[in-house]
Structure 1
Amino acid sequence: MFARRCSRLVASKTAVPLTSYLSRVGRPYSSAASAYENILTETPKPGVGLITLNRPKALNALSSPVFKEINDALSKYEEDKDIGAIIITGSEKAFAAGADIKEMAPLTFSSAFSNNFIAPWSHLANNVRKPVIAAVSGYALGGGCELALMCDIIYCTSKATFGQPEIKLGTIPGGGGSQRLTRAVGKSRAMELILTGKNFSGKEAGEWGVAAKVVDGGKEELLEEAIKTAETIASYSKVAVLAAKEVVNKSQELSLKEGVEYERRIFHALFGTRDQKIGMTAFAEKKKPEWSNE
């Protein structure tokens, strides 16, 4: 089974080369991954879950079936006590070049509204408590840009291409692009990007604060950096990591005064955890902490 998956990767021009793949993989794919048609999953380092979009012919275009698989993989990583951080990536050419227009074109207001179309796409932003890093190479347009913005941290190559071009199709962003992009780059710049449909580069994403790190290299160098950061996050107390992500996210919803008060309450609460005692005792004794994750 593992050999068949490797052969699939080699067969795809946009997939990870076999030699690089074998050097990164920490263990064969889990049995659950065999059911996926549009994504690949692996654990390249202890504590790190990796989801790779794998629709090379469609430039990883996003659709309801794709998000169903992404959400399933995310849920499994959420439940896995050994996983401390998650990475979502695509190919060298495309993180995700947009939403699948063939799925959307025939929809009516009634069908879209009644079926709450694309609501499941927000599972990542609304339900995943563990940190998620987007590793973006190539195109991240429309839904692809929105998927990256849903993640907690974005790493990208300098030549990556972001954008919300929905205006060119007679519609607007529907997966949170108008909200998250505005929070990232400010109202004026977001308004210009969304009203004109203009793209912006990975280099600009770094300069504007959309991306936390811009890598001058290709997909492999990008993934190495993302895995390194995910491994660092996964090495800390999982209780503290969950709390840290929660308070940062609250900063986007609360006033400064309310946010500081919320942060203080979570800070106080962590004094009731074993890991706070383990961490501070280890620091005082100049030892490496052995986290209990409790």
Structure 2
Amino acid sequence: MQLISRITTDDIKVSANNQGVARNAFSQAMIDTIVVALRELDTMPEVRAVVIAGLPEGPFCAGMDIKELVAITTAAAHRRSFLKDLTDAFAGFSKPTIAAVVGAALGGGCGISLACDMIYAAEDAMFGLPEMKIGTIPGAGGTQRLARALGKHKAMEFILTGEPASGAEFERLGMVTRTFPQGASSGRGSEARHQNRGPVRPAESSTLEMGMVHEKALYYSTFDVYDCHEGQRAFLEKRMPNFEHR
């Protein structure tokens, strides 16, 4: 991914080293680069805003790198506060952030686009939270921000089905600031479905900060669930998952 700071003279471009990462997925190295870049850009008085973008032709970001995710246990996720560095970096950034979305913005990629102050997207960009299809839940703020923006019932549809929506549809729903023309299901893990309901409901009555804490705790808890491991293995092996609802 790229962070492009809009300044008075020229653009500063800071690119994460994501060579070899499929579909621009979040690796920890990429997350570290983005966190450091945001910290540095926030201290630069000449920087007025930051645009978060993927490759020009897409994708924006396909979420977490599953090859790294399979190695994280619930205990390890709590120990390192997994993804909290990324979500905190956006929450603490003092200047406007704009997501420029071409192609897929899925999972954590969708969550980070929602963390930005504005989203400009191609009409055929694809937004979604498909984590349940690999036996886990959104962990980058998706449950909290989607519920606040769309309300519980519509957010539940996206989170519980894992089905995506186009940039044009997200604009209609009020999630995308503006769209532009591009070029100008399967089994479900019942444990993840249950966990998905948990973080969305508090979004109606708690602060975003408390909701994010609750989401992270439930997200981490799925890492030791059988269906989560099965969903991740199936993804890597390019086959349909065989969920056992445990």
Greater helix share, structure number: 1
Tell me how far 1:111 sits from its aligned partner: 1.0
CA offsets per residue over residues 107-136 of structure 1, 9 Å max, x none? 211111112111111133321010000000
Structure of larger gyration radius: 1
- 1:133 aligned onto 2:98: yes
Tell me what 2:139 maps to.
174
- The 1-side partners of 2:95 and 2:10 are apart by 11
The residue number in structure 2 matching 1:99 is 64
**Letter aligned with residue 140 of structure 2:** G
User: Do residues 69 (structure 1) and 69 (structure 2) align?
Assistant: no
1:79 matched to 2:43? The reply is yes
- Percent pairwise identity: 40
Q: Is the 8 A contact 1:154 1:211 kept in 2?
A: yes
Deviation at residue 104 of structure 1 after TM alignment: 1.1
Q: Could you say what the CA RMSD is over the residues aligned between the two structures, in angstroms?
A: 2.4
Mapped pair 1:162 → 2:134? no
- How many pairs are equivalent? 185
1:68–1:174: structure 2 CA closer, same or farther, 3 Å change rule? same
Contact 2:3 / 2:53 at 8 angstroms: preserved in 1? no
Q: Determine the structure 2 residue equivalent to 1:228.
A: none
Equivalent pair of 1:141/1:164 in contact (CA under 8 Å): yes
Higher normalized contact order (CA 8 Å, seq sep 6+, divided by chain length): 2
SS at match of 2:47: coil
Deviations 1:78-108 (A, max 9, x none): 1111111110100112000111111111221
2:32 is paired with a residue whose SS is: helix
| Stretches of 4+ aligned residues off by more than 4 angstroms | 38-45, 47-54
Question: Which of 94, 107, 112 is residue 142 of structure 1 equivalent to?
Answer: 107
1:140-191 per-residue CA deviation (whole Å, 9 max, x = no partner) reads: 0001001101111100000100000000011100111000011122211110
Kindly provide the CA deviation profile for residues 198-229 of structure 1, in whole angstroms up to 9, marking residues without a partner as x: 000000010001110111133xx6xxxxxxxx
Is 2:23 aligned against 1:46? no
Contact kept in structure 1, 2:5 and 2:51, CA below 8 Å: no
TM-score by length of 1: 0.58
Q: Is the CA contact (8 Å cut-off) linking 1:48 and 1:87 kept in structure 2?
A: no
For residues 212 and 40 of structure 1, the distance between their equivalents in structure 2, rounded to whole angstroms, comes to 19
- Measured after TM superposition, the shift of residue 53 of structure 1 is 5.6
